[in-house]
Amino acid sequence: MDEYLSKDNKQLQAALETDIKKGLTDAQVKEKTEKYGKNALPQGKVTPWYMVFLHSLFEPIQIILMIAAIISVLAPLLGKGEWTVTIDDFIDFIVIFLIVIIDAILETVQTIKARKSMDALKDLSKPKAVVIRNNMQQEIDATELVPGDIVVLEAGKYVPAELRIVESSELMIDESILTGESVPVEKTHKPIKSTTILADMQNIAFMSTFTTAGRAIGVVIKTGENTEIGKIATSINKNDEEATPLEKKLSQFTLIVALVSLALGIIIFISLYFSGNSTAWASYLMVAITLAIGVIPECLAAIISITLSFSARRLAHQNVIVKKLKAVETLGSVNVICTDKTGTLTQNKMTVTKLVMDNRVINAKDYTNEKHDEHLDYFLKALVLCNDSVTENDERIGDPTELALVDFAEVTGLDEQKARDEFIRIDEKPFDSERKMMTTVNDIKGVKTVFTKGAIDQLLQCCSKIMIDNVTRPITQEDKDELLKIAGELSENALRVLAFAYKETGNEGNKSNFESDLVFLGAVAMIDPVRDSAVQAIKQAKAAGVKVVMITGDHAVTALAIARDLDLAHDEKEVMNSKMLDTMSDEDFLEIIEQIRVFARVNPEHKVRIVDALQKRHNITSMTGDGVNDAPSLAKADIGVAMGITGTDVAKQASDVILTDDNFETIIKGVNEGRNVYAKIKRAITFILGVNFSNVLAIFILSLINSVSPLEATNILWMNLIVESCIALAIGMGKNDDSLMKVKPIKGKNSLFRGIWFSMGKIIVFLTICSIGAFYFGMSFVDKDHIMNIFNDETYRKILESHGYNDESINALAESGWYQIFKNHDVPMEIKLEIGDYGRTAIFMLITCAPSFFVNFIKLSQWKTSKKINMVTNKPLIVSSLIAAGLNMIALFVPGINNNILNLLNTKEYFDHWYMIPVILCLTITPTIAMLLTDGIVFVSYHYFPDPRRRNKQLLDSMIFEDKKLLAQKRAIEKQKRDKENQQ
């Protein structure tokens, strides 16, 4: 690009084969379009929906589930010793595969929805370009531009391609998306020396920057991916997408569960083989494989997808678009948020906050209520008439500083449009960087009046008088010293000071006299004020243990002043500028980075270095940004957050999350949502693994004792359907628990197993004990008469006789009781299963009904945050628990289902032993009661009887809190004192 900097217009025309006056011809446009292509930023590869679906289908946990599904078909066949296949053998297989497919569909749908939301954001503003072609001025889509096109720029228009300016008039361009500098820069059409530094290319207009003032004509020198923005977009597209923390944790979790299930299967088979009849090894293998599969949470992938989908939908209503489902959880893991200042923490709107009038400082809000007088009348006219900005309806064109002046005048009572129509501009002396002033001459009711604005030190040199309390008198040196002192104090607080003066007679024929013998009116002090919501959001972030780091292109003084207003930083030691950063080695920077709260005057490469250093300190880091210069750091961060309103397409493309309202508060909402997502996923894991392990443990123990499994495959399948498919799926559908924002994030590795062992252990212990107790309670109803009734049944009599039993040995077998029958390896399995109906029914009722109760009371860590018990009701979970209980009643009491399908007691036998059901129901709620009592004891001991180490820590935390409280009060008093001194 530097080859075009020093060329004059003739050389440019020759190099680009164009005519600056007439533009390109249609034939040239067609030829160059074929050569250079469309003027569009390179897009990342869009993965087709079917590839998204296949990728979701073949994630590690899904593969294990599919293997488990295949084993669920093979295991019964091995157990039976024959290969006759019926539809019943495929029930497990069908259910598991349906779960896998549903999960993949949910993931695909959410990904496509997020992609459509992004496309909708891009379609909001498709840029146009005014060009000269065929000696005619016309408007075209910016994508149709080619090198050599002649483009007309005006205030309020985006630069549609890389331009070498050939004509200009007071051209100012906002290059913040590229450089991060919020103040517009002045451009020239004159040739300059070649340079590779973008900020020094004063005769180049960069693609996607914004024209704030003036007009110009430029010739296109670069388009599309060859522009500076295009180069960054290309580099972003080449980056490989990293797995989110949740994906990494799920992969680790899947591996651990797979190894545990394999180990359990081996242990169970060996134990049964050596404790039972070795000839029944196929039956034992089936039991071992069935129980090993029972450990794997088949529905976990679907639960995660449903939980993430619900959260993504909630976030969309809160102005957060999530491009990738699993990025929701990453938001909750964040413990450092690196954020831009302008537009995110501040309002992105310069605002007049103080006035310098009558040699004193007045709050702008107070001044708007003062009585209108001659002084105010001239002052407001100076604000509006010596001003080139335009505000009409929703259109706001011009320098942010000038727009702020118009806004203040409007609020104070002067209508901009009426004033400019009534007081016509006769002449002007435009602003330039050497004079640092601008002057206009307006007709005020027949009197030619000069209005001048500029830097206060320059303007005071042109003033011979000053207006104080509506009286004009000669200005003294003491007046000037006092005004400069006030302006200096305001500048130290990051306020931009602009002064105003006037005189009623002017020689419009001689512009050199415009800016002399002026009457000083006053000055305004303005700043881009902080968002009130951002102040609250930072408080919430601090309470949540999330560190907020402000990264800005502003000077350190301005950045620190904003940081103080946000209660983000208060000392110069917490601020680091780019010069300090450049002189530091990586090792020194790593040592100090945890203490820095504000980075000022940074370049794009600095942002990447900051994020990299924070990650090396084991932080989960979020980066917010809107400009092209933010894209590399957005891609580098664990989660990149782009602005939806002011954000460039490149920034949105590099990010994981898009804020449609550009508000920092929205990020904190995302953190809250992410933490709740993670808590719900861990709660689901706790519940499913707790139930699965307790069932496996109970069945294993009873199988070892009795040499026969207390449950059949259909019973286990029903339990999985009820517990995982019906109850667990609803865990992620409930409302959020805001108390999670009081829990400090865990720095570094945070496994899915972390913090769940106690809750999972309670489930395993209490549910296992109650399950075993329920089985033996049920078997207590099996007496000699019941056994003889079974033996006397024609079907079972034939089975016994086929195994060598006669009447005498059958009576002796009945006399031995059910326990000895179970231990007897010669008794056919069909007989044992029939005798075990009472025990099977009892344990079946407990393991299917008990989870419906205690699932609503599973809590993890948030109970530590307060002595007040915080109950968050999950209505979908309550409904699903009731549905599960209802389905269990159908399974237990509907004839045909209970005895024929599930091999449970028939309905008649319930009435013969009427107290069996109430007792088992009491056992069913026993695990819930035991868990609540345990939680109560732990809760009370934690909050009211802490151990010595934690008691000392509480005292230290209390002292630190009081110190911080006193420091905050002291800062508030100092701020009030400064404001009062400024007013005086």
In tens, the pLDDT along 288-314 reads 776 777 677 766 777 777 777 778 878
User: Which residue has better confidence, 280 or 966?
Assistant: 966
Measured in whole angstroms, how far is the alpha carbon of residue 621 from the centre of its chain? Answer: 11
Amino acid present at 27: A
Q: Where are the alpha helices (DSSP H) in 575-727?
A: 578-583, 586-592, 604-616, 631-636, 649-654, 664-706, 713-720
Q: Where are the alpha helices (DSSP H) in 81-123?
A: 91-123
3-state class (DSSP) for residue 757: helix
- pLDDT of residue 99 exceeding 90, the answer is no
- pLDDT of residue 123 exceeding 80, the answer is no
Q: Which of 319, 323, 289 is nearest to 68 (CA)?
A: 289
Q: Which of 153-157, 164-168, 892-896, 909-913 ranks highest by mean pLDDT? A: 164-168
Q: Which long-range contacts (CB under 8 A, 24 or more apart) does 760-763 make?
A: 760/686, 760/689, 760/690, 760/693, 762/690, 762/930, 762/931, 762/934, 763/686, 763/687, 763/690, 763/691, 763/694, 763/854, 763/858, 763/927, 763/931
Read off the tokens for 61: 């946990």
| Residue range 724-741: mean pLDDT, rounded | 79
pLDDT value at residue 207: 86
DSSP H or E segment with residue 133: strand 128-133
For residue 271, list its beta bridge partners: none
CA distance 353 to 351: 6
Q: pLDDT tens digits, residue range 245-295?
A: 666 777 777 778 778 877 887 887 888 777 766 666 666 776 777 677 767
Q: Which of 786, 783, 796 is nearest to 827 (CA)?
A: 796
CA dihedral defined by 963, 741, 762, 248, rounded to 10 degrees?
-120
pLDDT value at residue 979: 59
pLDDT range class, residue 121, cuts 50, 70, 90: very low
For residue 498, list its beta bridge partners: 524
Query: What does CATH list as the number for 351-527?
Result: 3.40.1110.10
Q: pLDDT tens digits, residue range 528-547?
A: 888 888 888 888 888 888 89
- pLDDT of residue 107 exceeding 60, the answer is yes
CA distance 674 to 332: 4
> Catalytic site residues?
340
Query: What does CATH list as the number for 336-346+545-665?
Result: 3.40.50.1000
Q: pLDDT tens digits, residue range 913-958?
A: 778 888 888 899 999 999 989 888 888 887 777 777 766 766 776 7
DSSP H or E segment with residue 769: helix 757-779
| Residue range 699-725: mean pLDDT, rounded | 78
Give the CA radius of gyration of the chain: 38
pLDDT range class, residue 405, cuts 50, 70, 90: very high
| Residue range 786-815: mean pLDDT, rounded | 83
Strand 336-340 relative to strand 320-322, pairing: unpaired
Strand 657-659 relative to strand 639-643, pairing: parallel
HEC assignment per residue over 356-418: EECCEEEEHHHHCCCCCCHHHHHHHHHHHHCCCCEEECCEEECCHHHHHHHHHHHHHCCCHHH
User: Which residue has better confidence, 720 or 357?
Assistant: 357
Q: pLDDT tens digits, residue range 603-631?
A: 767 888 899 899 888 888 888 877 666 77
pLDDT value at residue 764: 92
CATH 1.10.3720.10 fits 2-26+147-222, yes or no: no
Task: Report CA-CA distances (Å) from 186 to 85, 174, 202, 214, 679.
Answer: 82, 9, 7, 10, 52
- pLDDT of residue 343 exceeding 70, the answer is no
Read off the tokens for 945: 């009887």
| Residue range 667-681: mean pLDDT, rounded | 86
727 burial via Cβ count (<10 Å: 0-12, 13-18, 19+): buried
CA distance 417 to 421: 6
Q: Which residues contact 332 (CB under 8 A, 6 or more apart)?
A: 671, 672, 673, 674, 675, 676, 677, 678
Q: pLDDT tens digits, residue range 10-36?
A: 888 888 888 888 889 989 999 988 888
Read off the tokens for 270: 């060996």
3-state class (DSSP) for residue 466: strand
How many beta carbons lie within 10 A of that of residue 692, not counting itself?
Answer: 25
Mean pLDDT (the chain) is 81
pLDDT value at residue 124: 42
3-state class (DSSP) for residue 510: coil
Q: pLDDT tens digits, residue range 846-897?
A: 998 899 888 888 875 566 666 676 677 788 888 888 888 888 888 888 887 8
pLDDT value at residue 843: 92
Q: Which of 658, 646, 661 is nearest to 125 (CA)?
A: 646
Q: Report yes or no: 62 and 258 within 8 Å, Cβ to Cβ.
A: no
